[in-house]
Amino acid sequence: MAANGNGCNQNSALVRIGSRDSELAKKQTYMVRDALQKVHPKLEFEIITMKTKGDKILNLALSKIGSKSLFTKELEMALEEGQVDMVVHSLKDLPTTLPDGLVIGCVSEREDPRDAVIMHPKHTTASLASLPMDSVIGTSSVRRAAQLKRKFPNLRFESVRGNLNTRLRKLDTADDYAALILAAAGVLRMGWADRISQVIYKYCT
């Protein structure tokens, strides 16, 4: 996302890129920076990180916070105020209507669009279909929970918050969850392909 000519550092050889400060957000921002560096080798790029409201409120499910732009507002404000020249978002986090003066400058090549199942270490050979009755599956998405509950009514779907590192730690160090449902794209970009037990198709088993 970029400012539409407002507050942009247009005459400088330095381009400031805003990013959330989670490890995944920074990895995605590095990917964008590297792609831009290839086509603009004379420019310098600086990454400026910050926390958003969604990063700070971890004791509530996203659906209960009741606010739009949970993971984008602070970055949008920094862009509007000229603190950064562009920001990198996951498209799913963007509001339906962008603030006046801001535009989507480009969309990078898509990673695997599917959802992934990450099993607790004691269930590494299992699938969603083979988990015991009332096994708890962690997800931060109401959509994922609703869709999968129809397919697997014997499982319980509960909210799990935090960045990917935090959620994976919650899975591995306790028995609260039998598995997590995560975006495959994020798992792959973090280099955790070996943790994917199952990918979710329209009709998964």
Helix (H) or strand (E) holding 186: helix 184-189
Instruction: Verify whether residue 175 is a known catalytic residue.
Output: no
**55 to 21, 24, 52, 99, 200: CA distances (angstroms):** 9, 13, 5, 21, 26
Annotated catalytic residue within 21, 93, 100, 115 = 93
Residue 183, token pair as written in the block: 């975006």
Find out whether 21 and 50 touch, Cβ atoms under 8 Å: yes
Question: Collapsing DSSP states into helix, strand and coil, what is residue 205?
Answer: coil
Is residue 86 packed enough to be buried (19+ CB in 10 Å), middle (13-18) or exposed (0-12)? buried
Find out whether 160 and 140 touch, Cβ atoms under 8 Å: yes
Question: Collapsing DSSP states into helix, strand and coil, what is residue 179?
Answer: strand
Which active-site residues does the annotation give? 93
